[in-house]
Amino acid sequence: MNQIKFKIRRYSSATDTAPYWQTFSVETEPGMTVLQGLQQIRERLDATLAWRHSCRMGVCGSCAMIINSEPQLACNTQIQNLSAQMITLEALWNFPVAKDLVPDLMPMFEKHRDIAPYLIRDGGDLPKPGESELRQSPEELNEFLQFSSCIKCGACMAACPTLANDPHFLGPMPLTATHRYNSDSRDTGFSKRKEKMDGHHSIAHCHYAAECTRVCPKGVDPARAIQLMKRDLVLDLFHFSRRSPAQPCDTCATVDHDSLKAPVFTAREKN
Ligand code: SF4
Ligand code: FES
């Protein structure tokens, strides 16, 4: 057994006027996670400590918090891998705090709702009359597959410097969801989502810090999704869709559309 300190930023929106730090001693053993350390504190030292978790296996996304100044999943972070005698814990940055390590995620989910995060089909429900199923090729699946791994944990939102300076910025999670559906061959909702993509607090405001991609616990690349949407907006400006052959108007007929289809490098390549 090894004793280490958990230094936790505590706050209750119901009773406290300001946050404060409290330190607890935790008995650790190899393989123990930060989440298990929190459970030990609640069972042995302070039953009022609040955080959120459910699956304990990196799937539900509810235990995301700031661990030693990095947004991470508490259930997926082993204490020994932090190589520290003191672990600091805070609720996710860039969100209001409900209590202790519990952020209020409603601003993120309201933005997510606003971008229409579902398949939109011209003419109504899925599938269209006469279609028994909506088939996709492996290539079409790969267009959006990695973006569909998002578990809505909010770690990318906490890491985003643009969101830190502009609370109205849509942020990496809702923008990744936007691209996930725009790039699905079964979806025809680009024009419906375009207003959100093109708005003042949207993709043009991204400075490409790529912190979202660096911290994502599921290997999603939100920075790449945002760059791809910038490309899609330019293509749309020239009356050209990635999904259909070029149909430029007379004004745009001289544009080299193939050059607009050049691959966008990924934030992971950048880093
Ligand atoms: S993109 Fe990654 S970090 Fe952001 S909400 Fe989804 S899973 Fe979490
Ligand atoms: S408890 Fe579900 S991701 Fe950590």
The CATH number covering residue 32 comes to 3.10.20.30
Q: Which domain holds residue 95?
A: 2-103
Reference 4, options 65, 67, 84; nearest CA is 84
Residue from 34, 59, 65, 67 whose mutation best tests the ligand 2 pocket (most atoms within 8 A of CB): 59
Residue 255: the pLDDT is: 60
Query: What is the model's pTM?
Result: 0.89
Per-residue pLDDT, 110: 98
Torsion of CA 25, 27, 28, 33, to 10 degrees: -60
Same domain as 57, residue 9:
yes
Which of 69, 86, 103 terminates a domain? The answer is 103
Residue 111 CA: distances (Å) to CA of 7, 50, 108, 225: 32, 25, 5, 16
In short, whether 159's Cβ falls inside 6 Å of ligand 1 is: no
Pair (80, 145) in one structural domain? no
DSSP 183: T
Q: Which ligand is nearest to the CA of 74?
A: 2
Strands 102-103 and 97-99: antiparallel
Q: Write the pLDDT tens digit of every residue in 40-55.
A: 999 999 999 999 999 9
Please give the pLDDT value at position 200: 86
Question: Does 111 lie in the same domain as 94?
Answer: no
Q: β-strands 2-10, 20-28: how paired?
A: antiparallel
Task: Tell me which of 103, 136, 159 is where a domain ends.
Answer: 103
**Cα separation, 144 vs 10, whole angstroms:** 39
Are 151 and 24 within one domain?
A: no
- Say how many Å lie between the CA of residue 74 and the centre of ligand 2: 7
Residues having CB closer than 6 A to ligand 2 are 53-56, 58-63, 73, 75
In the predicted model, residues of the chain with pLDDT beneath 70 are: 123-126, 128-129, 240-271
Name the phi and psi angles at 51, rounded to 5: -155, 180
